[in-house]
Amino acid sequence: MINSNENNKDEKKIVLKIFRENTAQKTDSHYDTFNVPYKKWTTVLDALLYVKSYMDPSVAIRYSCRMASCGSCGMKINGIPRLACYTKISELETSTIECEPLPNLPVIRDLVTDFSRFFNHHKNIQPYIQSKDGVDDPDTEKKTFSFYQSPDEVDKYLQFSYCIKCGLCYSACPTVGTDLKFPGPQALAQLYRYYADTRDETKNRLDIVDDRHGIWRCHFAGSCSKVCPKGVDPALGIQLLRSYMLGISKNDKKLAEKNEIQTDEESI
Amino acid sequence: MMERHRMLKESQIMKIHYITGIAAIFVVAVHILMRLIVPFGSSLEYDYIISNYKNIFYVFILESILVLISIHGFNGIRIILLV
Amino acid sequence: MKEIEHDSRNNLEGIKGWLNPSRYGWERISYWFQRLTGVFLLIYFIGHVYETSTIVNGQNAWESFLELTQTVWGHLFLIMVIGASSFHSANGIRLIFTHVGIGLGTPSRPDYPYSPSSLNYRQKSGIWIALILSAAAMYYGFTVLFGE
Ligand code: HEM
Ligand code: SF4
Ligand code: FES
């Protein structure tokens, strides 16, 4: 340790400003400031963990994978929702970094927010495939055949299935910022993901969000797609979904069902 | 979330919003052209305006502007107030 | 620990977040302008209907009301109306296309570094065209109103 101090004499330091609040104890919110050494590859999460290890262990953060896979380290970094593990200090190009909890989600403590509302919106759009085959009929034996899906059919929804439910889009959305009942970009994009899946046969899936607080409150401000760390492009999913709801795009699923055997053979 | 017993679905209301918006472009264009085909000053003269109102086609255009933009504009306010 | 209610408005960005459109790129700015111009045009529309309806009270009433817009501030207000309506219509047409899924590209397998296809160049140029159009219309209005 002594050696490392000497080696690090010309190490660069960053000012890390962290939002502090304990809602359970109703303490007033304030910011704590720390001077943290960093290298070219240091992420904001690394810096926060440094603070926890060597300066103030009481700073509350949520994280797990450190590789943009689990979606738990979302926070507002310099005013914009980002994943702490996916944001390098060097790429921010500022001398002070401000970490705040994700906007539009209630604060639990410091940088940790409550995702219940976000997850409830996700559940509400029925984020699972519902298919008649072998499900409706209790006598049917366990299914012994596989669903056929051509690469083209997979491409229609694959992009949206990469969502890690990090809530960055929800946090950036201007409609969510005022309307708690609005499902938000994540849930709406997932509705599209299941609607566009040829295996899904859910009846009236679109009606779930054809509501005055539903999909029509998207004004295509694009902020969700701007901040999404996984290239999901929720705004694209929402607009494509509207295209179906307005009858501009036709659902070829129904047609495919009719010619099931033929299309399957053709696509293989 | 699912709200029933409504007169119109939200998708139908928004269809009306888009259609009234597009239709407004055309009727407002006629309205503006009526001002532009004469010099700006005289387009605002009392007698000229009154003579416009004798033209039943133009009156029809003006009425439709009133209806279309009221629907579009006040629905817009409804949208903004839905928070 | 006390449960946090799902309908808690704690930490919502609200109108304050809405008022600053500069953080998220051109699409957010266009949304901001679309809404502001929409409200502004509705205010103008109501005033305009009220103003022109004075014509039923005869020539004097009409001309005395007309004088309101014959001032420098009246002219500037009309120029704002010209700009707002040009932007709102041009951008409104773009939005209608996007809302029906046209001009956004198709879903594809995302590759790092991700670039969302819905925020593509066509959309950005659409926004710029609307802004330029509205600036040009305001310039034309300026020359007509102040050029006499
Ligand atoms: C001339 C053609 C017009 C077109 C093509 C048009 C188009 C649109 C569109 C597409 C929207 C929806 C924006 C969204 O959902 O994000 C909108 C909103 C709106 N428009 Fe228009 N519009 C037009 C004229 C007008 C006029 C003349 C008024 C004023 C009375 C007006 C007032 C509004 C208002 C108040 C909104 C709500 C703003 C919002 O939703 O953010 N529009 N317009
Ligand atoms: S769509 Fe993107 S930003 Fe939104 S929750 Fe999923 S991964 Fe996160
Ligand atoms: S720690 Fe898992 S996404 Fe950042």
HEC secondary structure over A194-241: HHCCCCCCCCCCHHHHCCCCCHHHCCCCCHHHHHCCCCCCHHHHHHHH
Enumerate the residues of chain B whose CB falls inside 8 A of the CB of residue A246: 11, 15
A-to-C residue pairs, Cβ atoms closer than 8 angstroms: 158
Q: Region A246-261: what's the mean pLDDT?
A: 61
Enumerate the residues of chain A whose CB falls inside 8 A of the CB of residue B13: 212, 216
Count Cβ neighbours within 10 Å for each residue of C91-113 and write b for 16 or more, e otherwise: bbebbbbbbbbeebeebeebeee
| DSSP conformation class of A32 | E
pLDDT band at A138 (very low <50, low <70, confident <90, very high): low
Percent of residues, chain A, with pLDDT higher than 70: 84
Quote the pLDDT of residue A255. Answer: 45
- C14 belongs to a structural domain: no
Write phi, then psi, for A166 (nearest 5 degrees): -85, -15
Quote the pLDDT of residue C73. Answer: 93
C83 CA → ligand 1 middle, Å: 14
Enumerate the residues of chain A whose CB falls inside 8 A of the CB of residue C25: 222-223, 226
A131: left (phi over 0), alpha (psi -120 to 50) or beta: beta
Pocket lining: C68 vs ligand 1, CB cutoff 6 Å:
no
- A70 belongs to a structural domain: yes
Domain residues for the domain of A144 are: 116-258
* Higher pLDDT pick, C10 / C1: C10
Quote the pLDDT of residue A151. Answer: 93
Count Cβ neighbours within 10 Å for each residue of C15-34 and write b for 16 or more, e otherwise: eebbeebebbbbbbbbbbbb
Nearest-neighbour CA in chain C from B6: distance (Å): 23
Q: Is residue B58 a contact partner of residue B34, using CB atoms and an 8 Å limit?
A: yes
- Residue in this structure with the two tokens 């009942």, named with its chain if needed: A181
Tell me the best of A64, A77, A88 to mutate to test the pocket of ligand 3, counting ligand atoms within 8 Å of each CB and taking the most: A64
Does residue B50 carry a pLDDT above 50?
A: yes
pLDDT band at A266 (very low <50, low <70, confident <90, very high): very low
Query: Same domain, yes or no, for A222 and A188?
Result: yes
- A264 belongs to a structural domain: no
ipTM: 0.92
Percent of residues, chain A, with pLDDT higher than 90: 75
Q: CATH no. for residue C129?
A: 1.20.1300.10
Lowest mean pLDDT among A51-55, A146-150, C8-12: A146-150
Q: Region A233-254: what's the mean pLDDT?
A: 87
Q: Name the neighbours of A, counting chains with at least 3 Cβ pairs within 8 A.
A: B, C
Handedness of CA C87, B25, B69, A176 (dihedral sign): negative
Nearest CA to ligand 2 atom 3: A228
Enumerate the residues of chain C whose CB falls inside 8 A of the CB of residue A178: 12-15, 18
- Residue of chain A minimizing CA distance to B2: A208
Pocket lining: B73 vs ligand 1, CB cutoff 6 Å:
yes
The ranges assigned to domains in chain B are: 22-82
A250 CA → ligand 2 middle, Å: 27
Does residue A221 carry a pLDDT above 70?
A: yes
Handedness of CA A260, A125, A79, A99 (dihedral sign): negative
Q: CATH no. for residue A130?
A: 1.10.1060.10
- C106 belongs to a structural domain: no
Distance CA B65, CA B25 (A): 9
* pTM, rounded to two decimals: 0.90
Distance CA C146, CA A143 (A): 78
Quote the pLDDT of residue A46. Answer: 97
pLDDT band at A258 (very low <50, low <70, confident <90, very high): very low
Pocket lining: C136 vs ligand 1, CB cutoff 6 Å:
no
Query: Same domain, yes or no, for A253 and A120?
Result: yes
Measured from the Cα of A84, ligand 3's closest atom is 4
Query: Same domain, yes or no, for A86 and A217?
Result: no
- DSSP, collapsed to helix, strand or coil, labels residue A191 as helix
Measured between CB atoms, which of C45, C59, C144 is closest to B40? C144
Q: Render pLDDT for C45-90 as a digit per residue (tens, 0 to 9).
A: 999 999 889 888 888 888 888 888 889 999 999 999 999 999 999 9
Query: Same domain, yes or no, for A80 and A101?
Result: yes
Q: Render pLDDT for A22-40 as a digit per residue (tens, 0 to 9).
A: 988 888 899 999 999 999 9
Distance CA B57, CA B70 (A): 20
Enumerate the residues of chain B whose CB falls inside 8 A of the CB of residue C145: 40
Among A74, A97, A113, residue at a domain's last position: A113
Query: Are the Cβ atoms of A213 and B9 closer than 8 angstroms?
Result: no
Query: Same domain, yes or no, for A239 and A227?
Result: yes
Query: Same domain, yes or no, for A120 and A210?
Result: yes
Query: Same domain, yes or no, for A147 and A212?
Result: yes
Query: Same domain, yes or no, for A132 and A233?
Result: yes
Enumerate the residues of chain C whose CB falls inside 8 A of the CB of residue B22: 93, 96
Query: Same domain, yes or no, for A178 and A53?
Result: no
Quote the pLDDT of residue B1. Answer: 46
Q: How many other C-beta atoms can be found within 10 angstroms of the C-beta atom of residue A126?
A: 15
Quote the pLDDT of residue A64. Answer: 97
Q: Region A152-156: what's the mean pLDDT?
A: 93
Among A113, A129, A147, residue at a domain's last position: A113
- A18 belongs to a structural domain: yes
Q: CATH no. for residue A75?
A: 3.10.20.30
C34 CA → ligand 1 middle, Å: 7
Quote the pLDDT of residue A2. Answer: 46
Q: How many structural domains is chain A composed of? A: 2
Among A113, A136, A156, residue at a domain's last position: A113
A-to-B residue pairs, Cβ atoms closer than 8 angstroms: 34
Nearest-neighbour CA in chain C from A142: distance (Å): 32
Q: Render pLDDT for A113-134 as a digit per residue (tens, 0 to 9).
A: 999 999 999 999 999 988 776 4
**Ligand lying nearest the CA atom of residue C45:** 1
Query: Are the Cβ atoms of C144 and B28 closer than 8 angstroms?
Result: no
Query: Same domain, yes or no, for A109 and A122?
Result: no
Q: How many structural domains is chain C composed of? A: 1
Nearest-neighbour CA in chain C from A158: distance (Å): 7
- Residue of chain B minimizing CA distance to C61: B46
Pocket lining: B31 vs ligand 1, CB cutoff 6 Å:
no
